[in-house]
Amino acid sequence: MSDMTNVSHLLALHSIDGLGPIRLRAVLEYFKDPKLAWEANEGELLKIGIFKNTVNLLLETRKNLKPETYAEEIAASGIKWITIFDESYPRLLREIYDPPVVVYYKGKLDDLGQKAIAVVGTRKMTGYGKVVTEEFTKGLVNAGLTVISGLARGVDSQAHLTAVSENGRTIAVLGGGLNNIFPPENRSLAAKIASDFGAVISEFPPTYPSLPGNFPARNRIISGLSLAVVVIEAAEDSGSLITARLALEQGREVFAVPGPITSDLSKGPINLIKEGARIVFSPDEVLEELGMSKVQSAKFKVQSEDLSEEERQVLGVLENENRHIDEIGRQLNFPSPKISALLLKMEISGLVQSMGAGIYCKK
């Protein structure tokens, strides 16, 4: 759909609340031309099954909205779009039951979804979840994969941040319009992704608000763009489980990372495993299951023979459990300045990782 008039009228139709992807496609199939659909009378629209309140909204909207001007305003705000009629529309997304008719985006959509993995999880991420999200995201982007997530607080944000820090590619899928980034504290992250590290996308018109009811629709795009979905920390009622179940319906692989059995945030992954998701403990297992080879990180790794005796003792304490810095010091009988210096050195060397609040874990 390269004709600008047709595209403008399609965007105008797409702005009408109530014309979701399935109903909008039915309208386009009937009228064959977005301009004819936009200009149709009430009787024609009702005849093809459009709800009366949606028809009324369309008739009211077109009194004041000029399609060409509307499209120009969207473009002027730095937002681009791709439609399902374009050859460059993501192949994987096109295959799902109800692909979005229009996808708005900022950034670059080169090869979007051709080699992508979704990493999703709870908004209430723990220190354990942060470490696991970083590990999996690093492994995936270092293997040349795009990491897709939803820009929400918690695991989603951490996945995007880690991909950016590794100079990897990431796609953020929003539950509202691109001019209404939510949560607001992620606006700078969204801008960074769009400028250098991938794209921020949405099927919602640019000014559409982020509403709770939007997120299941957003989740089908996250899974629809991906070869597989990795779930890290999720309560039993988590939206991440919706993404995982949509992925299964779409024929995608679903991987679940187990967590401590004492945590409510382990219940979601455990339930997915019971339902047939593959249990994974490392990003290499994800790559292996998908028939992909890993790419070794060029970052410096300390060899075991290079460790001092004191570093070995610290690693011994952290072998099976995360511990607070004070507890490590007490167990080894090291004074506070010494254990602080040791842990800082070991963190720089990639041996341990701070989980926040003075708690450390072995990497």
**pLDDT tens digit sequence for 203-216:** 999 999 888 888 88
- Whole-angstrom distance, CA of residue 152 vs CA of residue 231: 14
Percent of the chain with pLDDT strictly greater than 70: 93
Quick one: pLDDT band at residue 300, thresholds 50, 70, 90?
A: very low
**Tens digits of residue pLDDT in 55-103:** 899 999 988 999 999 999 999 999 999 999 888 898 889 888 889 999 9
The listed CATH number (3.40.50.300, 3.40.50.450, 2.40.50.140, 3.40.50.360) that belongs to domain 116-289: 3.40.50.450
Domain range list for the chain: 1-76, 116-289, 304-362
State the number of CA atoms in the 13 A half-sphere of 32 facing the CB.
0
Q: Which of 164-173, 268-277, 342-351 has the lowest average pLDDT? A: 342-351
Residue 298: its pLDDT value, please?
38
Please determine, looking at this structure, whether the domain spanning 304-362 carries the CATH number 1.10.10.10: yes
Taking CA atoms, 113 is separated from 5, 89, 103, in Å, by 29, 10, 13
**Tens digits of residue pLDDT in 163-189:** 999 989 999 999 999 998 989 999 999
- Cis status of the peptide bond prior to 183, with omega within 30 of 0: yes
User: Residue 283: phi, psi to the nearest 5?
Assistant: -65, -30
Place of tokens 């890993």: 294
The listed CATH number (1.10.150, 1.10.3470, 1.10.155, 1.10.10) that belongs to domain 1-76: 1.10.150
Residue 128: its pLDDT value, please?
86
- Whole-angstrom distance, CA of residue 99 vs CA of residue 221: 8
Long-range contacts of 320-328, Cβ-Cβ distance < 8 Å, separation of 24 or more:
322/127, 322/128, 322/355, 322/359, 322/360, 322/361, 323/359, 323/360, 324/357, 324/358, 324/359, 324/360, 325/358, 325/359, 325/360, 326/358, 328/360
Residue 111: its pLDDT value, please?
58
Residues 6+ apart with CB under 8 A from 78: 106
